[in-house]
Amino acid sequence: MDMANQARIKETAEKFGKDSVVVILGGGEAESAGLTAETVMTGDPTFAGPLTNVALQLPVYHLFELKDLIDPAVYEEQVSMMEMVLDVDEIIAEMDNIRKECSE
Amino acid sequence: MNFPVIKGTGYVLVHAPNMMLEHGTTITVEKAKNPGSDFLKAIPDHIRSFEETVKYAPNQVYIGNLSPRDLETIPQPWFENFVEDADRQGKYGEIMPEKELYGLMKIVDRFELVELNEEFSAEIKEILKAKDIFTENQLALFDKPKSMDEISALVKNDTAKGLYDGDKLLGCVREAHESDPCLTADVVFENLVTKASGVLAMIALFKKNNIDPSEVDYIIEASEEAIGDMNQRGGGNMAKACGEVAGCINATGIDMRGFCAGPSHAFVNAAGLVQSGIFKNVVVMAGGCTAKLGMNGRDHINKKMPLVEDMIGGFAVLVSENDGVNPVIRTDILGKHKISSGSAPQAVIQAIVVDPLTASGMKISDIDVFAPELQNPEITVPAGAGDVPVANYKMIGAMAIKRGELEKKELMEFTKKHGVIGFAPTQGHIPSGVPLIGYIRDSMLAGEMTNAMLIGKGSLFLGRMTDLFDGISFIIQKNSGELSMGQDSSASDEFKQEIREMIAEAMQGIADSLARR
């Protein structure tokens, strides 16, 4: 996750409280989605950005995991193409793993 | 009124390992922040030799010695499976070593900002003379070398950036103003590299296609650099600056910017200028970019690869009046990402691929080959950015599935049939569709391809002025041989009818006057 986004997440969590923030990812690749999830849970694993050693433990999901919560018409119009293109199962499995590994 | 044609292409690469170390932003930022890092220490073991870059299959495709289809048969990693009989000279251009580019930077410099030492000046003059593409006046610039003491002093007091061959200082690029942040040695260096590689691409276009540069009317330069001073940071005009060196004495030009989509916008504009009759011959061109060298170097070293982002790219393409032979640009089938289109990938593909085809009564599978961003996957996959062309082909195929044109199980086959493997360096505007035009033109001239769609996409958020996405597409089609291809037939019919009516009226007048006698 780049420096600017780490700063925005940190600022948002501080402003609204950790309990009021959910992070939703839209990345197209399992490994990078996992790294982003790790960053907002236990801190920046590259020790480079504002979330270094900051364990926000924010709830984090990939958009594909939230399909049931989204208006089907909107999902069809905006996401259905990418669902065919990307490896959805791999992304969801990685998100599950990271949440288990990083939860306190 | 007539569709314009793609009359010729030129493609060049420069192996620039020292520029990667001195000007690639990933490495320069690391040097400033963590000067003793493991990443920096590991770099020397991951530098490629010039010979290795010539034998690197994607580079051979870029200069036209191999086709993108040939690349599919060469196993990866390409940095280990070399093309053994590779030549640095190609059908479309050449692969140049860094030292020759230093010489070219001296030739294109109009303000005595590039200084070369005595030994290197003499050496490079002979090398460039043997290429037989530079004039006596251009080569005479090497007769005024600077002493090593002067060059070392300029670099040491930070008023110049060094031109290195490993640890050896060969010369420098001086700052152009003592207090202007837009004319520092760094900025001038970067712009001179873009200029030199752009000029090299133009020379390749003219020489490889027997085109007289004096016939060029207009040049559109489509790189991502800003040329100007502190009062007009992006004032321009790189197009005219390159045309001057390349011998386009009858041309003027303009710089056109749109991040990676810049070149596609430039082609649409060039096509419009030619089809309208404003200009007969328009060159769309761009040199490469030093900042992006080694951009994903950290990942490449972590994956124990060589630093394969060590190539500067350049291209030049001539758009001309319909000659009945060369492939045409179908200016009546254009895709554009509108301000209201939306930034979701699906909305982008809908706007720039599906909508123009639907409007023309075509299916997605009617297009033989799509040319989206053509980044070499060997550079992007290890960096976690995926295989960019394949992702684009899958998105286009997925839209065909959604439209009922394709079965879901046919998706992978679609990507292979209507796509090519990526082979371009990750130089922003360089991989954006344009590298395939040479192959497309050749295939159409050989009767092996009917049409192709070029897709330019740009991430405008990088400039922080808008978070809108951008994209523009156009179709290249085999020439039918009819010189009226693209003529507005309805307007022409109307005109003919008007003439018929005028003649009829005149005849009636004559008949009436005869009857009155």
Q: What pLDDT does residue B451 have?
A: 98
Q: Are A85 and B391 a contacting pair at CB < 8 A? A: yes
> Residue type for B350, please?
Q
From the list B264, B243, B245, B246, the residue with the least C-alpha distance to B254 is B243
Q: What CA–CA distances, in Å, run from B197 to B12, B82, B203, B427?
A: 8, 25, 10, 12
Q: Which whole-number Å values give the CA distances from B340 to A75, B170, B335, B348, B391, in the listed order?
A: 18, 52, 14, 11, 24
Local structure of residue B135 (DSSP, 8 states): -
d(CA B67, CA B379): 19
Distance from CA of B96 to the nearest CA of A (A): 35
The minimum CA-CA distance between B311 and chain A, rounded to whole Å, is 25
pLDDT at residue A7 tops 70: yes
Angle CA(B374)–CA(B380)–CA(B382) in degrees, nearest 5?
150
Q: Which of the residues B346, B393, B414, B469 would you substitute to probe the A interface, choosing the one with the greatest number of A C-beta atoms within 10 Å?
A: B346
Q: What is the rounded distance in angstroms from the CA atom of residue B205 to the CA atom of residue B223? A: 17
Written as six digits, the tokens of A38 are: 């790790």
Q: What is the DSSP track for B485-511?
A: TT--HHHHHHHHHHHHHHHHHHHHHHH
* Residues in B touching A81 (Cβ below 8 Å): 345-346, 349, 395, 398-399, 402
Greatest Cα pair distance in chain B: 108
E strands present in B68-194: 95-96, 114-116, 160-165, 168-174
What is the three-state SS of B179-211?
Answer: CCCCCCHHHHHHHHHHHHHHHHHHHHHHHHCCC
Q: Are strands B451-459 and B469-477 parallel, antiparallel or unpaired?
A: antiparallel
Closest C-alpha among B507, B7, B403, B25 to residue B217: B7
Amino acid at B504: A
CA distance A85 to chain B (A): 5
Distance CA B427, CA B288 (A): 7
With contact defined as beta carbons under 8 Å apart, do B68 and B59 qualify?
no
What is the crossing angle of helices B238-246 and B185-208, to 10°?
50
Phi-psi category of B42—alpha, beta or left, where left has phi over 0 and alpha has psi -120 to 50? Answer: alpha
B401 touches chain A (CB under 8 A): yes
CB contact (8 A) between residue B398 and residue A31: no
Q: Which of B344, B385, B398 sits opposite A85 (nearest CB)?
A: B398
| Percentage helix, strand, coil for chain B under 3-state DSSP, each rounded to 5 | 45, 20, 35
ipTM rounded to 2 decimals: 0.80
Distance CA B201, CA B326 (A): 20
Contacts of B26 in chain A (CB under 8 A): none
Bridge partners, residue B168, by sequence? B165
A interface residues, B as partner, C-beta within 8 Å: 28-29, 31-32, 77-82, 84-85
The reported pLDDT for the residue numbered B487 is 58
Distance from CA of A59 to the nearest CA of B (A): 23
Cis geometry, peptide bond prior to residue B157 (ω within 30 degrees of 0): no
For B43, the token pair is 């770099």
CA distance B401 to chain A (A): 9
Read off the pLDDT of residues A11-67 as tens digits, 9 standing for 90 and up. Answer: 999 999 999 999 999 988 899 899 999 999 999 998 889 999 999 999 999 999 999
Per-residue model confidence (pLDDT) at position B515 = 74
Question: Measured between CA atoms, how close is A18 to chain B, in angstroms?
Answer: 27
Q: Is B228 on the interface with A (CB under 8 A)?
A: no
The separation between the first and the last C-alpha atoms of chain A, rounded to the nearest angstrom, is: 21
From residue B135, alpha-carbon distances to B105, B203, B272, B318 in Å are: 15, 13, 34, 23
What span, in angstroms and rounded, lies between the C-alpha atoms of B511 and B505? 10
Pairing outcome for strands B328-336 and B469-477:
antiparallel
User: Does residue B226 sit at the A interface (CB-CB below 8 Å)?
Assistant: no
Q: Is B347 on the interface with A (CB under 8 A)?
A: yes
CB B19: neighbour CB atoms within 10 A? 26
The reported pLDDT for the residue numbered B492 is 56
Q: Which of A29, A80, A82 sits opposite B384 (nearest CB)?
A: A29
Residue B470 carries which side chain, given as an amino acid letter? Answer: D
Q: Does B408 touch chain A (CB under 8 A)?
A: yes
Burial bucket for residue B75 (CB in 10 Å: 0-12, 13-18, 19+): exposed
Q: Which residues of B touch A31 (CB under 8 A)?
A: 384
| Distance to chain A for B386, nearest Cα, Å | 7
Q: In chain A, how long is the greatest CA-to-CA distance?
A: 41
pLDDT tens-place values along chain B, 517 residues long: 499 999 999 999 999 999 999 999 999 999 999 999 999 999 999 999 999 999 999 999 999 999 999 999 999 999 999 999 999 999 999 999 999 999 999 999 999 999 999 999 999 999 999 999 999 999 999 999 999 999 999 999 999 999 999 999 999 999 999 999 999 999 999 999 999 999 999 999 999 999 999 999 999 999 999 999 999 999 999 999 999 999 999 999 999 999 999 999 999 999 999 999 999 999 999 999 999 999 999 999 999 999 999 999 999 999 999 999 999 999 999 999 999 999 999 999 999 999 999 999 999 999 999 999 999 999 999 998 889 999 999 999 999 999 999 999 999 999 999 999 999 999 999 999 999 999 999 999 999 999 999 999 999 999 999 999 999 999 999 999 987 766 555 555 666 667 777 777 877 777 787 777 6
Q: Are strands B281-286 and B311-320 parallel, antiparallel or unpaired?
A: antiparallel
- Contact at 8 Å (CB) between B38 and B121? no
Q: Do B395 and A82 touch (CB under 8 A)?
A: yes
| Strand blocks (E) in A1-104 | 23-25, 60-62
Whole-angstrom distance between the N-terminal and C-terminal Cα of chain B? Answer: 46
Chain A CA closest to residue B342: A78
Contacts of B394 in chain A (CB under 8 A): 84-85
Cβ-contact B115, B124 below 8 angstroms? no
Q: Determine contact, residues B439/B68, Cβ cutoff 8 Å.
A: yes
Tokens at B452, concatenated = 């192709």
- Residue B166's nearest CA partner among B31, B54, B17, B280 is B17
pLDDT for the residue B496: 64
The partner residue sitting opposite A78, judged by closest CB among B346, B401, B411, is B346
**Residues A86, A92, A95: CA angle, nearest 5 degrees:** 125
Yes or no, beta carbons of B386 and A81 under 8 Å apart: no
If you measure CA to CA, which chain B residue comes closest to A33? Answer: B384
Which of B347, B384, B408 lies closest to A84 in CB terms?
B408
- Kindly state the helix (H) or strand (E) to which residue B393 belongs, with its residue range: helix B388-402
Check CB contact under 8 Å for A78 and B342: yes
Phi-psi region of B172 (alpha: psi -120 to 50; beta: other; left: phi over 0): beta
Question: Can you tell me the distance from the alpha carbon of B195 to that of B221, in angstroms, rounded to the nearest whole number?
Answer: 10
B395 contacts chain A (CB < 8 A): yes
Q: Tell me the nearest-neighbour CA distance from B395 into chain A, angstroms.
A: 6
Residue A4 with chain B: CB contacts under 8 Å = none
A85, A87, A88, best to mutate vs chain B, most B CBs in 10 Å:
A85
Spell out a b/e string for B216-225, using b for 16 or more CB atoms within 10 Å of the CB, else e: bbbbbbbbbb
Q: Is A38 helix (H, G, I), strand (E, B) or coil?
A: helix
How far from chain centre, in Å, is Cα B76? Answer: 25
Q: Which residues, 6+ apart, have CB-to-CB distance to B315 below 8 Å? A: B9, B10, B11, B12, B201, B263, B285, B286, B430, B434, B435
